[in-house]
Structure 1
Amino acid sequence: MKIQEIREIIKLVDQSSLDEFLYESEGTKIKLKKNEKGFVNSTSETFESSSIIEQPRQVEVKAPVAQEAPKQQVVEEATTESVVDSSLHTIISPMVGTFYQSSSPDTAAYVEVGTKVSADSIVCIVEAMKLFNEIEAEIDGQVVEILVKDGQLVEYGQPLFLVKGN
C-alpha cells in the first residue's frame, strides 16, 4: 500500500464520525483510532512471507481531527423525519467516500427527485481512494428525496436517497 493511499484513508477517517478503523489486505494491516485529544492514531504493519522471519514495520502518524458534529447532526435529524413513512425504501452508502450525483461535473445527475428507477439503475457514485463506485437503486420505484449534497463526504450505512417502491 502506498503512503498516499494511507494518507487518503487517514483524511477520510479524520472527516468522519468513526472512532476506529481497521483495514487488512494482502499482509498489510492499518488501524486508525481517534483518541480523546482529537487526533488520529495510525499504525501500519506489513508482513512479508519469506524464509527469513522479519519483524513487522510500524508507522505512527498523528493528524488533527476536524470537528464537524453539527453538520452530521442536521443530516441525522432530517433523515429520521423522512424515514417515518414505511412505504419508502432507503438507499444507503455501502462505503465511506465522497458522494457524486453524476459521472463528471459537466454531465446531468443520474437521478433527481421524481425520477423513476429500476433495481439496476445507477443513482450516484461514491468515490473512495480514487475508485469510483456506481451505486444502484436495488428497487423499482420513484426517487422521493435526495438526502446528501453533491461532493459531500458520506459514511458507511448513511442514507443517500428515499425511493417510493412500485
Structure 2
Amino acid sequence: MLNFKEIKEIIKLIDDSSIDEFTYESEGAKVQLKKTAARANQHVVYNNASEIQALPKQPAAESLEQPKKEVHLPKEESEQKTENLHKITSPMVGTFYAAPNPDADPYVTIGSKVKENTVVCIVEAMKLFNEIEAEVKGEIVDILVENGQLVEYGQPLFLVKPE
C-alpha cells in the first residue's frame, strides 16, 4: 500500500499533468483521483482511509453564511506588502486546525512571535494530525485560513514578518 507521502506526490503529479483520472489498486486498497476542468475547485475526500477521490468542493451550509475576507490592493502595492513576508504553506491536503483541541487557545494569533520550531497549526489528513512548524523566526502578520477549513497542498496558511 502507498504511504501518505507517496499519495501526496501522486496528487501533485496528477494535478500538474493533463491526466483527468487516475486509479491505483493494491492489496485491497484503492486510490482514485479525478479532476474537473476547474482545478482550483478540488479537494480530496476519503472513505475508510482506503479510498481517496478528488472531487469538486461542495460548500458547507455554515460557510455560505460567513462572509469571506477579501482585501483588494493595487497589484504593485499588494506585491510590495507581501514581498518581504514568509508564507507558511500547507504541506498536504487536509483540514486546518488553529488549536490542539476545540477547547484550547489557538497555537498562534496575529502578532505572535514564532521561532523556526514553533507549532503554528495542525493539518489533519487521513485521521493523522500533522503539526505544522513556522520554519522561520518572526512575527505572524496574517492568518489566511479559518479554523476547520479544507486546505490544499501548497496553500498559504500564514504570513510571517521575518526577524
TM more than 0.5 = yes
Distance 2:99 2:36 in 1: 36
Distance 1:25 1:139 in 2: 39
2:31 aligned partner, one-letter code? I
Contact 2:92 2:154 in 1 (8 A): yes
TM-score normalized with structure 1 length: 0.59
Distance 1:63 1:86 in 2: 32
Q: Which residue of 1 aligns with 2:105?
A: 108
What secondary structure is seen at the aligned counterpart in 1 of 2:83?
coil
> RMSD of the alignment, in Å?
4.3
Q: Which residue of 2 aligns with 1:138?
A: 135
**Which structure 1 segments of 5+ residues have no match?**
2-8, 39-58
Distance 1:92 1:83 in 2: 19
Contact 1:21 1:31 in 2 (8 A): yes
What secondary structure is seen at the aligned counterpart in 2 of 1:85?
helix
1:125 aligned partner, one-letter code? I
Question: Which among 93, 96, 110 is matched to residue 90 of structure 2?
Answer: 93
2:35 aligned partner, one-letter code? K
Identity of aligned residues (%): 49
Q: How many aligned residue pairs are there?
A: 128
Q: Which residue of 1 aligns with 2:32?
A: 31
**Which structure 2 segments of 5+ residues have no match?**
2-6, 42-50
TM-score normalized with structure 2 length: 0.60
Distance 2:80 2:69 in 1: 12
Q: Which residue of 1 aligns with 2:4?
A: none
Distance 1:125 1:140 in 2: 19
Q: 1:76 to 1:24 in 2, by over 3 A?
A: farther
| Consecutive aligned runs of 4 or more in structure 1 exceeding 6 Å deviation | 23-26, 61-64, 74-78
Distance 1:147 1:118 in 2: 19
What secondary structure is seen at the aligned counterpart in 1 of 2:154?
coil
Instruction: Using the TM superposition, give the Cα deviation of residue 137 of structure 1 relative to its aligned residue in structure 2, in angstroms.
Output: 0.1
Distance 1:112 1:164 in 2: 13
1:34 aligned partner, one-letter code? K
